[in-house]
Amino acid sequence: PQTIHLADYRPYPFRLDEVDLTFRLAPGATRVLSRIRFVPLEAGADLWLDGEGLRLISARIDGTALAISPDSTGLRIPATALPSGPFLWEAEVEIAPQANTALEGLYMSGGMYCTQCEAEGFRKITFYPDRPDVMAPFRVRVEGDMPVLLSNGNLLAEGPGWADWFDPWPKPAYLFALVAGDLRAHSGRFTTRSGRDVALNIWVRPGDEGRCDWALQSLIRSMEWDEQVYGREYDLDIFNIVAVDDFNMGAMENKGLNIFNSKLVLASPETATDTDYERIEAVIAHEYFHNWTGNRITCRDWFQLCLKEGLTVYRDQQFTGDMRSHAVKRIEDVLVLRARQFREDAGPLAHPVRPESFVEINNFYTATVYEKGAELIGMLRRLVGNEGYARALDLYFSRHDGQACTIEDWLKVFEDATGRDLTQFKRWYEQAGTPRVSVREDWRDGRFTLTLSQHLPATPGQPEKRPLHIPVAVGLLGPNGDEVVPTTILELTEVEQQFVFDGLAARPIPSILRDFSAPVILDHPQDDAARAFVLAHDTDPFTRWEAGRALSKQVLARMITEGTSPAADWLDGMARVLRDDTLDPAFRALALRLPGEDDMAQTLHDAGLVPDPDRIHRARTRMAETLARHLSADLPSLWASLRQSGPFSPTAEAAGARALRNTVLALLNRIDDGRHAAAAWAEASTMTDRIAALGCLIESGRGTAELAEFASQWAHDRLVMDKWFAVQISHAKPDLAVETTARLASRPDFDWKNPNRFRAVIGALAANHAGFHQGDGSGYRLVADWLIRLDPVNPQTAARMSTAFETLARYDADRQDLIREELARLQVTPGLSRDLSEMTARMLG
């Protein structure tokens, strides 16, 4: 397979004036007719059109039939065979959406037609320059025997069996979409600031209409927010969202016609958890925000993916913070960043936020591009300030509207709007790896000195690194807990630098990396007492939580390596958090959550130790039991006092109270043999409470009757049954996880071709740290067996799931050998996809 390099970028030598498509839909043989006007921009250029798996029926240029035979990637017409000026390309192809199991291009899901074109799916629909820098208005006629026929833009006209759509905004092919099916709309309206009346529709299968209101309300809030905060208005007369059951990703921002994985649309208290509600709100916002950051301004090439994704993730994070709690959202985002992106950065799949080469672009929709990409936006904002950020964004929108841009364009607007030199900052986009920032404190003669140093480890293909421009937000606390120096941004640009604070009456306690001001690993030797002090007194909620977290990890690490008991300081600190009802319940729930096992494995590896998954599991279990016993006098009454009455509310407050209550339940469950969990199950009226109780029952070796009851109640509901599958594997004891997974995977309702179901089962095993890493290699084998089975059907999801193996270097030699064996077995599988073979090659190094 061919490697594509950023350095090889060349502009497309033609402009497309308008694209006119007609679809004659049929499951086994859909005809796609295209009429496209090409205008040459360079003399002597061949015409190259991408195309994969298309049966070419006919092709004409300016009305003259061509005799051409495409190869497996597209077709080329030499310059000598082209007219010298503009010309009209007409083609007819046949495709088979019913046979498309890869869920890329035009495919069928539950009897409806739908599309997924990002990144390179449009070439599976017709011959076309399928690259994001080729933008054109699209006119689309959809013909088919379906009641609802949708495409991008505004509806021009429709009749029985046909509809005409026109999208006036030039767009790249990856934003094309088409949907046809027996769908019902849950509808609303929105009037933009300048008076445009927009029809809003959430399209779902009949019967699901009652679960769309949360998505619709989230959309309306997103539209308002983007006007208020970024001054961005919607630009068409209609905005459609369609929920689809079979979908590789979360959702897709097609212009005017977003297509969503149904689990990110449908919500009711009985079927969706609070986490689902929050994710739906965030993803609806994310896709809507792409209308400006992604669609109106798109990417020049796929190496620039972070240009739209990093910025749009940053925007959806801000939005959720505004809708809910900034403190809680920041902590949740850092947890995800560390669990996914730091993990990726530490292994063989590490790559820069803007990669320089790829084999299969679908393999680069990663935590690094998305989550670290968003962190880079946050750092830029800290460096230029809120006003500088607002000026830069205004300039970005006015300068680049309608263009396909690069990271260079993006950084230039910040330089032009604020006068800052971002040459060194740009290295964040180019260098992979998580920097370690070390802190030394010095106190002498009323002068406090912080010495900060940075180190960026080598990553695949990048042995040498240059220092980064790192904003480190610091505050100083006095001995009585008062803040003596408010938050200041220290700019670390050298390998090592000193920052001096004068005029202090006493030695301060520093609070470093407030709000997690940079995506780094902080190496700040502090004793338990100093951490407990920051946990008790800091003004910044993130560093407060982080102090408790660091303390927990320190304690757990000692328990794992030395077999000690949990420290008394830590138990008291946790008790204080539990009892402090001035704190937001959602914050308390997060603060009481113990570090995860995968996180601990990485932490031990970073400290030069070899993590033992069983030992980590046992120590963490012991830690939770000891904590539960220490708090046993408080837990039952707190659990009872957090019981909610009255109608369900999806607000952050209500969800936070449920989160705390279920955290308390999980602690009680460590010491009460499932008694409270059984009560919780009996009284549960929401999916949040039901699934929490079920997890606890399974952990205490019960739950058989409840699982059966759940299955008979929800057998008809795919999304709810995904939870039923996953909960049994996530909560299985390490030595039972593989067996449980194998048993569930042999059920007839394990519809493994559905990505949600595959993730709910095989993904849940990969996420059960001690279960997946059983020393006999049975977890590795089961996952690899399923990847081999899924790959020919759906390479994209198979490749994504293969990241289960990316942490191989952490473990002992036996486990590493076992993992390598499985990766090698994958690699020699006949017909392995480009997607999965790139992943295995990178992981085998």
- The catalytic residues are 287
* 345 near ligand DPP, rule: CB under 6 A: no
The answer to whether 491 and 469 are in contact (CB under 8 A) is yes
Q: Which is nearer to ligand DPP, 120 or 546 (CB)?
A: 120
List Cβ neighbours of 41 (8 Å cut-off, separation of 6 or more): 11, 12, 13, 14, 15
Binding ligand DPP (rule: CB under 6 A), the pick from 286, 324, 630, 800 is 286
Q: Among ligand DPP, Zn ion, none, what does residue 208 contact (CB within 5–8 Å per kind)?
A: none
Residue 263 interacts with which of ligand DPP, Zn ion, none, CB < 5 to 8 Å by class: none
> Which x/- pattern over 62-101 shows residues binding ligand DPP (rule: CB under 6 A)?
----------------------------------------
The site partner of 104 among Zn ion, ligand DPP, none (C-beta below 5 to 8 Å per kind) is none
Residue 252 partner contact from Zn ion, ligand DPP, none using kind-dependent CB cut-offs of 5 to 8 Å: ligand DPP
Q: Which of residues 712-751 bind ligand DPP (CB under 6 A)?
A: none
Taking the CA of residue 489 as centre, how many other CA atoms within 13 Å lie in the half-sphere pointing to its CB? Answer: 17
Q: Contact at 8 Å (CB) between 284 and 777?
A: no
Pair of tokens at residue 135: 């933008």
Binding-site string for Zn ion from residue 264 to residue 303, where x marks contact by CB under 5 A and - marks none: ----------------------------------------
Kindly determine how many residues on this chain lie close enough to bind Zn ion according to the rule CB under 5 A. Answer: 2
Q: If contact means CB under 5 to 8 A according to the sort of partner, which of Zn ion, ligand DPP, none does residue 598 touch?
A: none
SS3 (DSSP) at 158 = strand
**Token couple for 493:** 């640009």
Structure tokens at 149: 């026929």
Q: How far is the CB of 316 from Zn ion (least distance, A)?
A: 8
Residues 473-532 that bind ligand DPP (CB under 6 A): none
The window from 42-50, 244-252, 324-332, 570-578 that contacts ligand DPP (CB under 6 A) reads 244-252
Closest alpha carbon to 297 in 154, 175, 383: 175
Q: Is 309 in the site for ligand DPP (CB under 6 A)?
A: yes
The two structure tokens encoding residue 590: 């997060």
Instruction: Pick the closer one to ligand DPP by CB: 291 or 740.
Output: 291
Which pairs from 719-723 meet CB under 8 Å and 24+ separation?
719/262, 719/263, 719/266, 719/271, 719/272, 719/756, 720/271, 720/687, 721/749, 721/757, 722/263, 722/756, 722/757, 722/759, 722/760, 723/273, 723/687, 723/691, 723/760
Q: Return the bridge partners of 171, or none.
A: 136
Size of the site for ligand DPP (CB under 6 A): 8
Q: Which of 167, 253, 699, 706 binds ligand DPP (CB under 6 A)?
A: 253
How far is Cα 622 from Cα 608, in angstroms, rounded to an integer? 24
Strand partners for 36: 19, 89
Long-range contacts of 73-80 (CB under 8 A, 24+ apart): 74/48, 74/49, 74/50, 74/123, 74/127, 75/48, 75/49, 75/51, 75/127, 76/46, 76/47, 76/48, 76/49, 77/46, 77/47, 78/46, 79/44, 79/45, 79/46, 79/47
* Residue 15 C-beta-side C-alpha neighbours within 13 Å: 8
Q: Least distance to Zn ion from the beta carbon of 393, Å?
A: 17
- Interaction of residue 118 with ligand DPP, rule CB under 6 A: yes
Shorter beta-carbon distance to ligand DPP: residue 118 or 722? 118
Nearer to Zn ion, 309 or 722 (CB): 309
- The partner in contact with residue 627, picked from Zn ion, ligand DPP, none with C-beta cut-offs of 5 to 8 angstroms by kind, is none
Q: How far apart are CA 195 and CA 215, in angstroms?
A: 23
Task: Select 252 or 628, whichever has its Cβ closest to ligand DPP.
Answer: 252
How many CB atoms within 10 Å of residue 421?
Answer: 9
Looking at 464-612, list the stretches that DSSP marks H as alpha helix, in order from N- to C-terminal side: 528-537, 541-562, 568-579, 585-592, 597-606
Q: Tell me the C-alpha distance between 426 and 408, whole Å.
A: 9
CB closer to Zn ion, 312 vs 459:
312
Q: How far is the CB of 835 from Zn ion (least distance, A)?
A: 19
Pick 118 or 584: Cβ nearer ligand DPP: 118
- The minimum distance between CB 176 and ligand DPP, in angstroms, equals 13
Other Cβ atoms within 10 Å of 464 Cβ, number:
7
| Nearby residues of 696 by Cβ (< 8 Å), 6 or more positions away | 665, 666, 669, 674, 676, 677, 680
At 298, list the tokens: 């798109």
Give the residue closest to ligand DPP by C-beta: 118
Nearer to Zn ion among residue 240 and residue 312 (C-beta): 312
Contact region for Zn ion (CB under 5 A) — 115-123, 304-312, 418-426, 622-630?
304-312
Closer to ligand DPP by CB, 117 or 762: give it. 117
CB of 712 to ligand DPP, least distance (A): 36
How far is it, in rounded angstroms, from Cα 806 to Cα 809? 8
Q: Which residue has tokens 């421009």?
A: 469
| Positions of E strands within 552-710 | none
Out of Zn ion, ligand DPP, none, what residue 222 binds, judged by CB under 5 to 8 A for its kind, is none
- Which tokens in the block code for residue 646? 């009255």
Segment lying near ligand DPP (by CB under 6 A), choices 25-33, 247-255, 447-455, 808-816: 247-255
- Residue labelled with tokens 């260098």: 431
CA distance 845 to 843: 5
Binding mask 198-227 toward ligand DPP (x if CB under 6 A, else -) reads ------------------------------
Stretch that binds ligand DPP, among 23-31, 237-245, 246-254, 739-747 (CB under 6 A): 246-254
Binding mask 537-576 for ligand DPP (x = CB under 6 A): ----------------------------------------
Phi, psi for residue 570 in degrees, rounded to 5: -70, -45
State yes or no: residue 316 binds ligand DPP (CB under 6 A): no
Q: Residue 404, interface with ligand DPP (CB under 6 A)?
A: no
* Partner in contact with 316, chosen from Zn ion, ligand DPP, none, beta carbon below 5 to 8 Å by kind: none
The verdict on 252 binding ligand DPP (CB under 6 A) reads yes
Q: Which lies closer to ligand DPP via its Cβ, residue 157 or residue 336? A: 336
Q: Taking the complex as a whole, how short is the minimal distance between the CB of residue 155 and Zn ion, in angstroms?
A: 25
Both tokens assigned to 743: 């048993």
The stretch among 71-79, 144-152, 249-257, 586-594 that binds ligand DPP (CB under 6 A) is 249-257
Q: Which is nearer to Zn ion, 312 or 320 (CB)?
A: 312
Least Å distance, CB 469 to Zn ion, is: 26
Query: What residue 124 binds from Zn ion, ligand DPP, none (CB within 5 to 8 A, per partner kind)?
Result: none
Mention every residue, 6+ apart, whose C-beta is less than 8 A from residue 195. none
Strands 197-204 and 184-191, sheet pairing: antiparallel
Segment 308 to 337, residues that bind Zn ion, using CB under 5 A = 309, 312
337 binds ligand DPP (CB under 6 A): no
DSSP element (H, E) containing 735 = none
Q: Rule CB under 6 A: is residue 287 a binding residue for ligand DPP? A: yes
Answer yes or no whether residue 249 interacts with ligand DPP by CB under 6 A: yes
* Closer residue to ligand DPP, CB minimum distance, 309 or 822: 309
118 binds, options Zn ion, ligand DPP, none, Cβ within 5 to 8 A by partner type: ligand DPP
Closer to Zn ion by Cβ: residue 295 or 840:
295
Residue with tokens 């007819």: 92
Which DSSP string corresponds to 225-282?
HHHHHH-----SSEEEEEEESS-SSSEE--TTEEEEEGGGT---TTT--HHHHHHHHH
* SS (HEC) of 354-370: CCCEECCHHHHCCHHHH
Residues that bind Zn ion (CB under 5 A): 309, 312
Residues at the site binding ligand DPP, with contacts judged by CB under 6 A: 118, 249, 251-253, 286-287, 309
